Structure 1
Amino acid sequence: MNSQTAFANAVLNPELPCPGGLTTWNGSDPATRFAVYRNNVMVSLIDALADTYPVVQELVGEEFFRAMARVFAQANPPRSRVMAYYGNNFADFLAAFPPATSVPYLADIARLEMARVRAYHAADVPPIQPETLQVALTRPEQLMALRLVLHPSVQVINSAFSVFSIWAAHQGVLCISSVDPEQAQTVLVFRNSLDVDTLEIAVGVSKFISGLQSGLTLFDAAGAASRADPAFDLSHALALLLRLQLISHLTSTDEHHEHTH
């Protein structure tokens, strides 16, 4: 183990001793200075998680959240200098963290909050002009090969719990007492200009969007959506994506045809 790895491990694990070979500029005790540094690093990581997951913290309380975040941070040091995405696997940690099992929807709330962070930092891509899609839909020879490329910020979360309503209640939009957490909900997260939006959507629309993101053609994605939800309406789904300006451009499985904005 090299000295940098030993230092990093000691910073995150209070049970490890102060690494050897440390000196201070003013002759003070290196172990004391290191303990202060170690505490500051840990507090910074916990604060970063609290900033990303405010609703998770509200659901379990600040004291429990910070204790839980400390356990996470000790096992998950930052992998990048970009701290915006720190804790992107926090939801998986929560799902497997026994003390958190009393709040079964906690992991999905964390997924929703991280999706909002990812949407905020996603690339900025201009939307397609509605006329471009309308023209493409009138060309029967190209319809079967048509693909819709969505804005990079678009994410879908499928949950067995009412994650949208729980999240919205903590934004002051709904009264928490009116929320039944056992109702499954599907959530769309995206960025509109500089604002991140969160909407509840139907299962069919969710399946349609996920199909498009995985590279399915328009018709294959619509077929998958209809199988998942017989009430799925393709025209309504396209109108929603156009209204929210979430279609960035069109492509085709036929390499000779490509439509851009």
Structure 2
Amino acid sequence: MSIQADFAAALLDTRLPCPAGLCSTNGADPASRFAVYRNNVQASLINALADSYPVVQQLVGEEFFRAMAGLFIQQQPPRSPLMSRYGDGLAAFIAAFEPAAEVPYLADVARLERLRTRAYHAGDAAAVSAHQISAALADPQTLAALTITLHPSLHLLDSAYAVVSIWAAHQQNATLAGIDITRMQQALVLRNGLEVEVFALDLGASMFIRHLLNQQPLLDAVQHCPSFNLPQTLALLIGHNAITALHNKVLP
């Protein structure tokens, strides 16, 4: 292993000793100076994860979160200089992290928070006007072939737990009292202007939107989903500027 690789490995893993060959220009102990530098790097990375996963931290407490994040950093160090991209693997890490097993919904809350970060940093796209959408839906000549493009910030999450309710409770300093944690919820995450929004959907609406994301024609998407409120779902997408293009596929 090269000197640079030794340095990087020791910087991110507190179990490793100070790399050999370090020197100090002012006579200070190199190992002590390296320890201070390593602590600063570790704290910065843990703080970045805490900023990206505030509800996860609230659910387990700061001490537990920082200890867990320290172990995550050892296994998955940063690969990009952009800190907004760091932490993609935290949800999977939590799912396999035995000390977190007592909070079985924690990994899905982490997934939801990660989608919020991705939505915030997604590209921009202008919304189609409600008038254009209404006209397209009212035209029987083209409706069968109509496909819809959704905003690049839009993401879906299917959870076995009440992940949206859990997340929302922590936006208002509320408790989980009265929430049926084991109730399945589907989450819709999107950025409307500069604000990232989170909504709970029923299963049919979530499946419908997923079909739209796969560029399936609107009518086909409706037919392949369980019963759901189509007007309400379209109103949600239109009202939050999620529809960015309309296309008419050429049918065979």
Q: Same fold by TM (over 0.5)?
A: yes
Which residue matches 2:245? 249
Q: Which residue of 2 aligns with 1:181?
A: 181
Counterparts of 1:112 and 1:196, CA distance in 2: 12
- 2:172 match: 172
The 3 A distance-change label for structure 1 pair 221 and 30 is same
Contact 1:153-1:189 within 8 A present in 2 as well: yes
- Cα distance 1:41–1:175, how it changes in 2: closer, same or farther (>3 A)? closer
- Structure 1 residue 240 and structure 2 residue 240: aligned? no
What code does the residue aligned with 2:94 have?
L
Within a 5 Å distance, the mapping from 1:51-66 to structure 2 comes to: 51-66=51-66
Asked whether the 8 Å contact 1:187–1:199 carries over to 2, the reply is yes
Partner Cα separation in structure 2 for residue 30 and residue 145 of structure 1: 69
- Aligned residue in 2 for 1:110: 110
Q: Secondary structure at the match of 2:167?
A: helix
1:1-261 alignment runs, 5 A limit: 1-172=1-172, 175-225=175-225, 229-230=226-227, 232-254=228-250
The aligned amino acid for 1:13 is D
Alpha-carbon RMSD: 1.7
Q: Deviations over 1:69-110 (max 9, x none)?
A: 111011111111110121111111101111111100000111
- Higher alpha-carbon deviation: 143-152 or 78-87: 143-152
Q: Which runs of 5+ in 2 are unaligned?
A: none
Shift of 1:145: 2.6
TM-score by length of 2: 0.93
The whole-number CA distance in structure 2 between the counterparts of 1:33 and 1:175 is 44
Instruction: Work out whether residues 165 and 174 of structure 1, in 8 Å CA contact, stay in contact via their aligned partners in 2.
Output: no
The residue matched to 1:125 in structure 2 has which SS?
A: coil
Query: Residues 175 and 64 from structure 1, CA distance in 2 versus in 1: closer, same or farther, beyond 3 angstroms?
Result: closer
Distance 1:205 1:53 in 2: 27
Letter in 2 for 1:172: Q
1:63 Cα deviation from its structure 2 partner = 0.9
Alpha-carbon offset, residue 136 of structure 1 = 2.4
Deviation at 1:175, TM superposition (A): 4.4
Q: Secondary structure at the match of 1:136?
A: helix
CA deviation after TM superposition for structure 1 residue 54, in Å: 1.1
User: 1:251 aligns to what SS in structure 2?
Assistant: strand
Instruction: Report runs of 4+ in structure 1 exceeding 4 Å deviation.
Output: none
- Give secondary structure in 2 for the equivalent of 1:178: coil
Identity %: 50
Q: 1:221 to 1:4 in 2, by over 3 A?
A: farther
Equivalent residue letter for 2:167: W
SS at match of 1:140: coil
- What amino acid is the match of 2:233? A
| C-alpha deviation, 1:42, in angstroms | 0.8
> Is the Cα–Cα contact under 8 Å of residues 150 and 249 in structure 1 kept in the other structure?
yes
Task: Report the AA paired with residue 105 of structure 2.
Answer: Y
Contact 1:187/1:201 (8 A) holds in 2: yes
Q: Which moved more, 1:54-63 or 1:215-224?
A: 215-224
Unaligned 5+ segments in structure 1 are 256-261
Aligned to 2:224, what secondary structure does the other structure show? Answer: helix
**Shift in Å, 1:173:** 7.1
